[in-house]
Structure 1
C-alpha cells in the first residue's frame, strides 16, 4: 500500500478546517518562501564567496596580516547578534525585524564594496555580519509562521539545500567576480538580490500577529561577544602587531578573563540567559561544545587560507581556485549527509565524532605536506580527506547534544553547540592568520638573507602584497613561492594537534540511547558559520514532522489499528481517517487524487460497509455512529504513537505547547500528503 510520505504537494485546507495560524498565510506561500530563501542565500553566500577573493582584496588594499579579520569580523558580529534577532523577532514581529536585517546587510554590503583600506573593510564586514545574523535566524523562524508543523521539515529542507548550494557556488562565484569584474562585486551582487527580497517581503508576506514576551539578556549577549573579541584579538595581534609580552596583549588577556567572570555572574541571575550555565553540568554537552569549537577552528581556518595557497603559490586563477576547493566541499557534504542518515537509522553515533576528528587531524597533516610542486591530483585528494573528516563529525555533534538535554533546553542547547563552532571558527581564522603572518615574515627573511633585491622590493613589501612576486627576477621567485607555501602549510601542521585533542575528547563521550524524536539536523545547523537560534518547540516540531511523514507507510496503519484494538485492514483504517477528516469521500476520487490504488480503496470500502462503519449516499461514503467511534479511537492511537516518539519528554509535567503540537500534527497526519481535500459542495469533490 502506498503511504502518506510519498506526496510532495502541500494540502490546501478548506477555510473551516484551517488553524488560526494558517488563516494569515498569503495566497501564494511559495512567493514568500522564495523571498525568505533569497534572504538566507545572501547570508549563506557571504560565508563562502569571500574566501577566493581574499588574495586579490589583500593585494589591492594591502595589509596581508589583517586578512583573517575580513572573515572574523563577519563571523563574530553574526554570532553575537543571533540570539538577539531571534528574541526581538518574537517580541516585536518577525516581518519588521527581517526587513531591518536585510537593510542592515545591504548597507554593509555597499560599504564593503566601497572600502578603500583594510580597517574600513573589516568594520563594514562587521556591520554586514549584524544583518547576516538576522537573515539566518528570522528566515527559518518565519517558515514556522507560514506553514503547518507537518510541512516544516520539507520547507526547511529547501533552506538546507540553499546552504549546500552556496558551499559549492560561493568559492566559484567569488573567483568569477574577482577575475572578470572586480572583487568589489563580491559585495555589490548582494544589492539587487536583497532589493528583490525586500520588495517581495514588503508586498506579499503576511504573518499572524503573534508576539512572545521575553526578558532579553542584553548584558549577557554583550559580555559573551566582548569575551570572544578579546580572545580573538589576543590570538590575531599577539606576536604580529604586538609582542606576546607587551602591555596591550597582557591587558587584552586580563580583560577577557575579567569579562568571563562577570559573564558567569550575570548568567546565573538572568531570567532568560543567552547561554544557560546548567548545560555545562551535562558532560555530553560540554564535550560536544569543545569538539564543536575544534571543528570550527579547523574548518574555517583552512577554508580561509587554502585559496591563498592555490592562487599565490600555484598561480591558479581565482575562478579555478574555487574549482580546486570543490573536493573538500563534496567530501564534507557526502560525509555529513551519510553520517546523519546512518545515525538516524541505527541509533549508534559515537563512532562518528571519533572517526571524524581522527580523519580531520589526518587531513590537516596531509595538507601540511603540500608545497609549490604538489600536483592537482594530490591536492584534490588531500582536500577531499579533510572535508570527509569534517563531514563525519559536524552533523552528529548537533544530534548528540539534542539527545542529551531535556525538552526545556533543547533549543538553546542546539544553538549553543553551533555557537561554540562559530567562536571556534573566529578564533581559528585569527590564530591561522597570526601563524601565517609570523611564519611568512621569518621565511622571507631567511630567503633574502645575503641576496641583493631590486629597488622597492623587500620582505615586508612581499608579505603585504603578493603581486610583487611577479616583479622579482626569475632566480628569486622559487624561494619566495616556497616561503609562502611553507608559511601556509605550517598553519595546518600547527592545527593538527588541536584536532588530535578533539579526537581524544571524542572517546570520552557517553553513547546514550538515541531518542526516537531526535533526527538528522538541518543542513543550516551543520554548515552555518553562525548559530541558527530556534526554540525547543521548533526543534521537536521539525523532528516529529520528519518522523510523521516518514512513518506514514502501510506498517503505521497496521500499528495504530492494533493499538486501537481492531482487526481491520490497514487500508480500512486509512480510509476511515480520511472520511473522518472530510466528512464524506468518494472512493474513485480518493484513488484519482491520492496515492492509494483504486482496487485497494474498493476493498477497504467493502469492509467499512460490511462492518457497518460507513454508509453510502450516492457515490459518497459517510461514517455511521459506530464508524465515528472507531475513527476516533484510531485517531487517538495515532496521537499516542506520536507521543511515544517523544520518550522521556512526554512525562507527567510535559509542557502544554508539546501537547498542542502532538494534537495538531495528529490532525494533519490523518490526511494524505498527496491528496487534496474537499472544498465542499453537493458532490464533495476534491478541490
Structure 2
C-alpha cells in the first residue's frame, strides 16, 4: 500500500535572498524588489549568474514546487507564485470550490422561485453528476496520472460555474450544477489521492482509452442515476407508489447488479474491483464512509436552511453562523493526518470522531426557534470536532488493507460511495422535511390563515423569510416553532444514521500501520503487473504482498 503524505508536514517556503545592496528579503517580496530599482542591483548579468552547485541544490518537493536549499539564489530564478502553491493550499482552494454553494443555496432557491423540490434539485443535481463521474475519474487517474485529472476537472467545473453565473431560470442553473458536479467529482477525487506518492508514466491516448472499462462505467453511472432519480422524484414530483418512481429505483438496483457481474467476470481492469468487498474490514470501512458522508452533508445544507428560515438570517450571516462547525472540523481534520503519522493508528480516531459526531448532531435536535447562541455554537463545535477525523482515517484504513495495484480503484470507490451517500442524504432529508412540515401545515394555517399558509407552502427559504417577517409576533412564533420542530425531526433521522455508523466502527479491527514510504506507479504496464500479481495470489501461487502504509 502506498504511504500517505500528511498535509500537516508541508511547510510554506520562506526563502531569503540577499540583494546587491546587502538587504535581505523573503520570497514574497521579490516582486517588489524587482520593480523597485532601489532594492535590486542594476547589473542584470549578476542576476542571471548561478553556480553549478546552486543548480544542483534545487530539489523538487514532490508537488511541483521547487525548494531552495542553497542561499544567494538569483532573482531571475525565483519560483513564481503558481509554482510555490503547496498541497495544503490546493486542498483548501479545491474544497472551498466544491462546498461554497451550500450557504447561498436557500437564497438562490428564493431568487428562482423554487419550491422544496427545486431546492433539493439544486443540491442533488450536483451530487448526482458528482457521484456518477467519480469512478471514471478514478480509472483515468490510473492511466494518465492525477495532474491531467485536476486540469480537466477544473475546466469542467469552470464551464459549469459559468453557466450557473449566467443562468436566467431554474433549468439553466440545474444544467450548470450538473456540469459542476462532473468537474467536482474529479476535483474531490484528486484531493483524496493528492498526498499519495505516485509516479505516472506516459500512456498513449488510444491505448489508454481502450483499457478503460467502458461497459462497467456506463452501467455504474446509469444504475446510480436511475436509483437516485427515483429517490429524488419520490414524494416530490411523483407519489412513492407511482410506476415512475418504482421503475427507476428497481431498474437502478438491477443495473447495479449487472454492473457488479461485469466487474467481477468480464472487465480486465474493473472500475470497482469486487475483491474490495470480499474482506469484511473493507466493507465496514466503506459503511463508515457512507454514514459519515450521509450525515456530514446534512449539516452543510440544512444548518444554513435553519439559519435563514428560522433565524431569518441572510446568506452572509448564515455563513458566519456555521463557522463553529467549519473551524472545529478543519482543526481536527488537520490534526488527524499528523496523529496517524506519529502513532500509526486510525481506529481510535474513527470511533472517537463518530462518537462526538453522534453527540453533536443529536444535540442539534435541541435547537430553538430563537437564537440561543450557546446552543448554536457549542453544538456545532462538538459536531465539527467529531466530523473532522472521519474524513481521512477511514480512507487510510481502506488503503492499508488493499493491494497497492488497487489503490486508485479503491480510492475512487471510496469517493464514489461518499458522493452517492451525500446525494441520497439531500434527497431523503428533503423527503423527511416535507413530510413533517406537511403535518404542521394545519397548525400553521389555523394561526395565520389559509392564504398565508399556502404562500409559505409554495415558497422556500428566502421567500418564506419575507412572509414570516411580515407576521405579527404571536403568529410568527407559531410558524417558527413549526419549522424548528420539522428540522428537529430531520436531525433525529440523521442522528440515527450516524449512530449506526458508530456501532459499525466498533467492529473495525485495529491495525498499527507501517511507517515505510513507498511509491505507487500508474499506467497500463503497472496495471497489468498488479493484475497478474493479484491473480497469482488468488490462485495461491504467491502470497499477496505485505501491507505498506503510512
TM range (shorter): 0.7 to 0.9
Q: Distance in 2 between matches of 1:390 and 1:463?
A: 28
Superposed CA RMSD: 4.1
Q: Structure 1 pair 252/132, CA: closer, same or farther in 2 (3 Å)?
A: same
* Structure 1 position 416 matched with structure 2 position 467: no
* Structure 1 position 60 matched with structure 2 position 111: yes
Specify the alignment match of 1:258 in structure 2: 254
Give the aligned length.
Answer: 466
- Stretches of structure 2 lacking an aligned partner (at least 5 in a row): 1-8, 16-51, 67-75, 523-541
Which of 118, 128, 132 is residue 184 of structure 2 equivalent to? 132
Q: Distance in 2 between matches of 1:22 and 1:299?
A: 29
2:290, 2:421 within 8 Å by CA — same for their partners in 1?
Answer: yes
Q: Structure 1 pair 454/412, CA: closer, same or farther in 2 (3 Å)?
A: closer
| Cα shift at 1:375 | 1.0
Q: Structure 1 pair 537/505, CA: closer, same or farther in 2 (3 Å)?
A: same
Q: Distance in 2 between matches of 1:42 and 1:7?
A: 16
| Stretches of 4+ aligned residues off by more than 4 angstroms | 4-19, 21-32, 34-43, 86-100, 135-144, 207-213, 453-457, 652-655
Q: Residue 446 of structure 2 aligns to a residue in which SS?
A: coil
What's the TM-score, normalizing by structure 2?
A: 0.73
Specify the alignment match of 1:51 in structure 2: 102
Specify the alignment match of 2:30 in structure 1: none
Q: Structure 1 pair 12/470, CA: closer, same or farther in 2 (3 Å)?
A: farther
Q: Which of the two has higher C-alpha Rg?
A: 1
Cα deviation code 1:120-146 (max 9, x no counterpart): 3222101122233344556998999xx
Instruction: Identify the structure with bigger relative contact order (alpha carbons < 8 Å, sequence gap 6+).
Output: 2
After TM superposition, the structure 1 = structure 2 runs for residues 208-223 of structure 1, keeping only pairs within 5 Å, are 211=204, 213-214=207-208, 215-223=211-219
Q: Distance in 2 between matches of 1:450 and 1:485?
A: 16
Q: Distance in 1 between matches of 2:57 and 2:380?
A: 56
| Cα shift at 1:40 | 6.5
Q: Residue 449 of structure 1 aligns to a residue in which SS?
A: helix
2:139, 2:271 within 8 Å by CA — same for their partners in 1?
Answer: no
* Structure 1 position 69 matched with structure 2 position 153: no
* Structure 1 position 351 matched with structure 2 position 403: no
Q: Structure 1 pair 301/141, CA: closer, same or farther in 2 (3 Å)?
A: closer
Q: Distance in 2 between matches of 1:93 and 1:143?
A: 13
Q: Distance in 2 between matches of 1:33 and 1:654?
A: 39
Q: Structure 1 pair 40/481, CA: closer, same or farther in 2 (3 Å)?
A: same
| Cα shift at 1:94 | 7.5
Q: Distance in 1 between matches of 2:348 and 2:193?
A: 33
What's the TM-score, normalizing by structure 1?
A: 0.60
| Cα shift at 1:295 | 0.3
After TM superposition, the structure 1 = structure 2 runs for residues 198-597 of structure 1, keeping only pairs within 5 Å, are 211=204, 213-214=207-208, 215-268=211-264, 269-449=266-446, 452-453=449-450, 457-463=454-460, 465-466=463-464, 467-517=466-516, 536-537=520-521
Q: Distance in 1 between matches of 2:58 and 2:352?
A: 49
Q: Structure 1 pair 490/471, CA: closer, same or farther in 2 (3 Å)?
A: same
Specify the alignment match of 1:120 in structure 2: 172
2:291, 2:498 within 8 Å by CA — same for their partners in 1?
Answer: yes
Q: Distance in 2 between matches of 1:235 and 1:216?
A: 30
- Stretches of structure 1 lacking an aligned partner (at least 5 in a row): 154-206, 520-534, 539-651, 659-687
Q: Distance in 1 between matches of 2:501 and 2:108?
A: 33
2:229, 2:248 within 8 Å by CA — same for their partners in 1?
Answer: yes
Q: Distance in 1 between matches of 2:116 and 2:10?
A: 53
Q: Distance in 2 between matches of 1:494 and 1:24?
A: 46
Q: Distance in 1 between matches of 2:399 and 2:158?
A: 34
